[in-house]
Amino acid sequence: MLLSSIALLMEAVVGFCSPVSKGEQKSGSETTNVQFLTERNQKRYFDYGSTEWNEPIRGVNLGGWLVLEPFITPSLFEVFRENDNSDEGIPVDEYHYTKALGPELAANRLEAHWQSWITEKDLTAIKSMGFNLVRIPIGYWAYETLSDDPYVSGHQEKYLDEAIEWASNNGLKVWVDLHGAAGSQNGFDNSGLRDSYKFQDEENLNVTRKVIHYLLDKYSRDEYVDTVIGVQLINEPLGPVLDMDKLKNDYYLENYNYLRQELGRDQIIVIHDAFQPLHYWDDFLTEDQGYWGVLVDHHHYQIFDSNQLNATFEDKLKLACSWGQDIVNESHWNVAGEFAAALTDCTKWVNGVGYKARYDGSYQKDNQGSFYIGSCENNEDFSSWSQDRKDQARHYLETQLNAFELRGGWILWTYKTENSIEWDAQKLAYNGVLPQPLDDRKFPNYCKK
């Protein structure tokens, strides 16, 4: 999700509680991976340390790979189907997928998926499409498990490291993203465990801390910092159901101090906004307070609310523009780490296994109904789309690109799916919805400051 250019990030100020200074680093990069420099033209610029990179972050997520999401790879979950008219019995997330299969069969099926879903050819293709960064989700269970966890563990790390090597070979940067916390930080299937909100229970928090400490330590070392330019502490913690003070102090601040003080390293720390209003984080871990290298990740979608789905197209564009215009003056450098071309929620299971679509009025969950807006029939058949719908999809996607380039940039969700068009960068590019090259904008005048 960004606009004109990025040369890269800002001179390191003294860290909180007198953390180790640049000259006293215990280990890590001699020349900092990401230093705070001056502001130019009221935009943040980055310098990754090797060559000048005068462009915004234009990234893509490798979703559905090391963390399963049913809507991305439905074939893995469809094998459990017993009834054509009901999703009953189909696992709703990776936790229940591995539990249903048992350890040996789950490991065999997941190994086959990990080996094939993302390969070096994909990283080469990503580079050729004009992207300059990949965000790679991984779950805590890749490294540690709770006593009753059914997850397959201990295998994913090698695939993550291979992807980082492939990214480096292709001149791509990487964010490592801890996408799932023990106990689940949001109750979404993308956390690994749906309908659970126990991330802040003491045992779960300790396990998650142990994992993120490992990731912060490993990916701030010399051999990684030229490629891995950020580590995300956790994806999408659901602020409305969490203790925000505990999230800030016992997790975000604790991990910042671990990286800066205990390790003495200067890797970028990425914090998700926890679905709080824009500017909520303006007085937390800021440069003025002596912190540095903290980036805020915003995620933006307009399909998970019936009223937003039913808004006029012009209002959708205005809202997308506001996302970019409102973050220009946030105190932290920020990036839209997830967004999509989707103007409907018609893709099967995008709302979760067992839940249908708001768009066609079939969605029912927790006594939340929906109302009919339009048909979902043939949603994944691009040839059936009207020219107006095709134009709107491109206009909406471009408007988001323009908006997010007003500050730090964007990372599209996601690189590939089995069936979806609206959520698949490959299919969007092939069908002329995602600009190719990425700066070939048909609707260039939206969201200007």
Residues tagged active-site: 236, 338
Helix (H, G, I), strand (E, B) or coil at 86: strand
| CA–CA separation, 363 and 273 (whole Å) | 27
Measured between alpha carbons, how far is 181 from 251 in angstroms, rounded to an integer? Answer: 12
Structure tokens at 323: 């996302």
CB 78 within 8 A of CB 90: yes
Fill in the amino acid letter for 169.
N
CA angle (216, 217, 221) in 5-degree steps: 110
Spatial separation of the C-alpha atoms in residues 55 and 53, rounded to whole Å: 6
Which residue stretches of 131-269 are H helix?
A: 156-169, 202-218, 222-225, 244-246, 254-257
Total residue length of the chain = 449
Taking CA atoms, 138 is separated from 23, 160, 322, 364, in Å, by 33, 8, 31, 30
User: 94: part of which helix (H) or strand (E)?
Assistant: helix 94-101
For residue 186, the 8-state DSSP code is: S
Give the three-class secondary structure for 273. Answer: coil
Residue 231, beta-bridge partner list: 176, 269
Non-local CB neighbours of 14 within 8 Å, separated by 6+ positions: 21, 290
Nearest-angstrom CA–CA distance, 118 and 125: 11
Quote the CA–CA distance of 410 and 438 in Å, as a whole number: 12
DSSP H stretches of helix in 286-380:
306-309, 313-327
